[in-house]
Amino acid sequence: MECKNHDLIQKIQENLGEFSKGQKLIANYIINHYDKAAFMTAARLGEIVGVSESTVVRFAIELGFDGYPKLQKVLQELIKSKLTAVQRIEVSSNRINEDNILKSVLQSDMEKIKISLEEIDHNSFDEIVECILKAKKIFILGVRSSAPLAHFLGFYFNLIFDNVRLVHTTSVSEMFEQIIRVSEGDVVIGISFPRYSKRTIKAMQFVKSQGAKVIAITDSNESPVALHADHSLIARSDMASFVDSLVAPLSVINALIVAIGMRRKEHVFETFGKLEKIWDEYQVYEKYDDVEDFRKEDY
């Protein structure tokens, strides 16, 4: 049976005595250097430890994987939640073409969106939309690098609903003070990506115990926030050096906003009609009187 990312290292350690001499070399390297092994090809890993590529492939099969790429994928999932910022810089330096960083990072982001689209559960997405539309109150929480995602979702949800609360917090106690009245019929959306926030996890445990529906927006069904959720919206994240690359999660959140906006089209139309008048009156946005003025500015 395939190992999940949280028990892979443990399983390797437990079965160390049963491996062949060559497999033990691979196992010990992975145990001590899984952060590096996660981004090595089977050939490169074999070269490092002094065994053949086929021995590395057989080792992955021995652990219950279909092949080495599946083992590598689990290792990559593992390190996203374990690596420190310094380790991230070291690992990413081997993955990013320093001669063309712009291309490397953008291609990686595009790949994460593609994978997210292929893997996302459309039925789960529809269920989440329905759940949010039926909510008495909607609470949105996300801290650290996930905070911009929470703010983006909160900004647009406040234009669609009258019952949204974006949880602003700098400590665990502040978070609980803002969600203390969460109850049955409410929906709490928790956003967290590696490295997962303990504050978000604790808050989701609490609101679930209060009877609220919990929605996780995260990178895996095995993430700590997904384990405490009724529904999960999965989008692949990545690390670009010390930076959390959250392009795919933002795209999925954008799709969620659009889907809900389409369901509340008349309300959204009315809201933006009023807002346009206010924006004009208080000159919130730059505005051209007509197309000719726009053309004059350009030429």
Each of the 299 residues of the chain gets a pLDDT tens digit; together they read 344 444 788 888 888 888 999 999 999 998 888 877 887 889 999 999 999 999 999 999 999 998 999 898 888 777 665 656 555 555 555 556 667 788 888 888 898 899 899 989 999 999 999 999 999 999 999 998 899 999 999 999 999 999 999 998 777 778 899 999 999 999 999 999 887 888 899 999 999 999 999 999 998 888 889 999 999 999 988 765 557 789 999 999 999 999 999 999 998 989 989 999 998 888 888 876 655 555 555 54
What is the extent of the structural domain holding 52? 8-82
Question: How far apart, in whole angstroms, are the C-alpha atoms of residue 181 and residue 225?
Answer: 20
Beta bridge partners of 238: 245
Helix then strand count (H, E) for the chain reads 14, 7
Question: How far apart, in whole angstroms, are the C-alpha atoms of residue 134 and residue 121?
Answer: 20
Please name the amino acid found at residue 13. Answer: Q
Cβ neighbours of residue 12 closer than 8 Å, sequence gap 6 or more: 27, 30, 31, 63
120 and 69 share one domain = no
Question: How far apart, in whole angstroms, are the C-alpha atoms of residue 135 and residue 187?
Answer: 6
Domain boundary among the residues 35, 62, 82 is at 82
Domain count of the chain?
2
146 and 239 share one domain = yes
75 and 126 share one domain = no
75 and 161 share one domain = no
Q: Is residue 64 part of a domain?
A: yes
Q: Residue 42's domain is classified under what CATH number?
A: 1.10.10.10
Q: Residue 226's domain is classified under what CATH number?
A: 3.40.50.10490
Domain boundary among the residues 34, 62, 82 is at 82
74 and 118 share one domain = no
Q: Is residue 286 part of a domain?
A: no
Q: Evaluate if pTM is beyond 0.85.
A: no
Q: Is residue 109 part of a domain?
A: no
* Buried/exposed code over 174-206 (b: 16+ C-beta within 10 A; e: otherwise): ebbebbeebeeebbbbbbbbbbbbebbbebbeb
| Tokens read off for 4 | 């999940």
